[in-house]
Amino acid sequence: MKASTSTVSTENEAAEELRRLGEILSRKILPWAPLDGLQPTPIEGLELIRSDTPTTCVSSVYEPSLCLIAQGGKTVWLGDKEIVYGPLSCLVSSVHLPVLGQVTQASPDKPYLGVKLSVDPQEVTDLIIELGDDLSEPEEECPDISCGLCRTQAEKGMVEAVTRLVSLLDSPADARILAPLARREIIYRALIGETGPRMRRFASADSQAHRISKVIAVLKDRFTEPLRIRELAEQANMSESSLFHSFKQVTRMSPLQFQKKLRLHEARRLMLSEGLEAATASFRVGYESPSHFSREYSRLFGAPPRADVIKLRGETPQAVRL
């Protein structure tokens, strides 16, 4: 009985320590995130997220990155997969992924706050090689290990490392030297934690997940071109059926659905940032029919192109990237 009581006490103390660290991180974020949305910082690859109210469901494309929530809550949908995360949840995206996201817990006195760190896959690979045998093997029995997006609860070391990186925003001279060290520690913490097996799977050159990451890179660079599954399969050294199956495991959607979402997001960007008309943007991203483009755009974003762009231009620009 005493042992059980001691264990509960230790767990409560650990939870309280994490809660305290979350509050410290939130205080560090607030001065550098005065507006709603995703906001850049002077530190390369580091962005801060804020929302003072719950949001509607927003479509966006996640890049390879790590996101730590300091306070508030959010739900993300990747295809048919729903991921719910709250304070001190850590979300790792191993590849570019079109998702839907909605802030569910936020208020003016306690806004949704998060830290996003872009991750270069080569950084992950280099650190894996350096760590060598110190890393355990991926758990093959985990049925979801090949999914490109995963969530875990952050451990103390990860929260402290992220807090150190955000704190460097107050010390530009120190940041020039110390920010690369802090980001390296964050990636290290992710690799040795629960997200590690998935990250290592995508970095392993002989894995299906790594082959699919290469296919995703090709689609991202050439999404305006007609989709040719046979060519993609040959480049990935996979059969067409294996490519389709593995692609769905990683992205929760088919290659055609993935390409379509990349096209629509790019068209939206072109209309917003370059002022293109819907028809011009549709041709630019690979559509042959403006009416077909308009129908698919409305299904994804909830409004026709022109109405959607007018609405977005009346909002804070960063809100588009939540």
| DSSP 8-class letter at 154 | P
Q: What is the tens place of the pLDDT at every residue in 276-316? A: 999 999 999 999 999 999 999 999 999 999 999 998 887 54
Q: Classify 42 as helix, strand or coil.
A: coil
| Mean pLDDT, residues 237-252 taken together | 94
Q: Classify 78 as helix, strand or coil.
A: strand
Q: How high is the pLDDT of residue 312?
A: 84
Alpha carbon of 314 to those of 39, 199, 272: distances in Å?
Answer: 18, 39, 11
The rounded percent of the chain whose pLDDT value lies above 90 is 75
CA 99, 100, 105, 110: dihedral to nearest 10 degrees? 60
- For 5-19, 189-203, 232-246, 283-297, which range has the lowest pLDDT when averaged over its residues? 5-19
Q: Classify 75 as helix, strand or coil.
A: strand
Q: Classify 288 as helix, strand or coil.
A: coil
| Mean pLDDT, residues 74-96 taken together | 93
Any idea how long the chain is?
322
Alpha carbon of 187 to those of 178, 207, 228, 255: distances in Å?
Answer: 15, 20, 35, 29
The rounded percent of the chain whose pLDDT value lies above 70 is 91
| DSSP 8-class letter at 110 | B
Decide if 71 contacts 114 (C-beta within 8 A): no
Rounded Cα–Cα distance for residues 130 and 113 (Å): 33
Q: How high is the pLDDT of residue 7?
A: 66
| Mean pLDDT, residues 35-64 taken together | 94
Q: How high is the pLDDT of residue 105?
A: 96
Q: Classify 312 as helix, strand or coil.
A: helix
User: Which of these, 5, 43, 27, lies nearest to 111 by C-alpha position?
Assistant: 27
pTM given for the model: 0.86
